[in-house]
Amino acid sequence: MTMKRTIKSEDVTSLAVTTEGNQQEVVADVYTPLWRKPYAEQLQHKETSASLEDLLKIEDDLREYFCRGSGSATGLTSLYLHVSNTTHKCRHKDPYRLVFGAPHIEESCAHNKFRILPDTSFPFNREAEELVISAVQKTAGIDESTNLLHLGSGSGVQSLALARHVRRVVCLESSAAAVDDLEFNLQLNDITNVAVQDGPLHQPQDLPLRHKIAAS
């Protein structure tokens, strides 16, 4: 946007004095050049602009390499890019950017299908996981009258498998991303006897569904 009238420094001062509240801040942001801002804010603005440009360039390079370059030999079907200033991954705080391909892939375990996203919790060794599920079923002696409470259910690999052999499963999970995955996987496999509750694992007594568990 190009301004036809030249704004002088005294104009900025008079505008800032005669306006009130939030309007004063808006006027200052609009008319104050970048070089008049504190040095720390200048650096932040420049770093942000450069980061966005670099990010788009990286995405273009990745697409070129994996789709048309030598990386195409890998047969990669989906690629995400995640940029974060922390080592903790969170799709809600720092969203993943889909560079190319399908938004998710699908895996199976214990006769159920699961949506897999970049930060989805899913066992690397499916055969071992199925053995664990079978051992839990036999050791716990669960049957069609059992009400099962699963703390830290993740994406639901164990919960969904055991749900086919019990009356009801209540899953308590502290990760919002895992809750999203679990609810999606329940619909994907048409399982209706599993209730999902997000909350802290160290406070199971605060579970809103506890009275339903006791009554069922």
3-state secondary structure of 140: helix
Radius of gyration of the chain (CA): 26
Do residue 117 and residue 62 come from a single domain?
no
Residues 167, 146 contacting (CB under 8 angstroms) = yes
173 annotated as ligand-binding: yes
> What's 208's domain CATH number?
3.40.50.150
Give how many domains the chain has, as a whole number.
2
Neighbours of 134 (CB within 10 A): 12
pLDDT 10s digits, 128-185: 999 999 999 999 999 999 999 999 999 999 999 999 999 999 999 999 999 999 999 9
Is residue 29 included in any domain, yes or no? no
Residue 98 β-bridge partners: 80
Do residue 95 and residue 109 come from a single domain?
no
Tell me what pLDDT residue 206 has: 53
- Low-confidence stretches of the chain (pLDDT beneath 70): 1-50, 86-93, 203-216
* Cα distance between residue 91 and residue 118, in whole Å: 9
Is residue 24 included in any domain, yes or no? no
Tell me what pLDDT residue 212 has: 45
Q: Interior CA angle at 68 toward 65 and 69, to 5°? A: 45
Is residue 199 included in any domain, yes or no? yes
Do residue 91 and residue 175 come from a single domain?
no
Q: Which domain holds residue 92?
A: 39-101
3-state secondary structure of 80: strand
The pair of structure tokens assigned to 29 is 């942001």
pTM of the shown model: 0.66
Closest-CA residue to 115 (of 165, 23, 184, 20):
184
Is residue 171 included in any domain, yes or no? yes
Do residue 127 and residue 150 come from a single domain?
yes
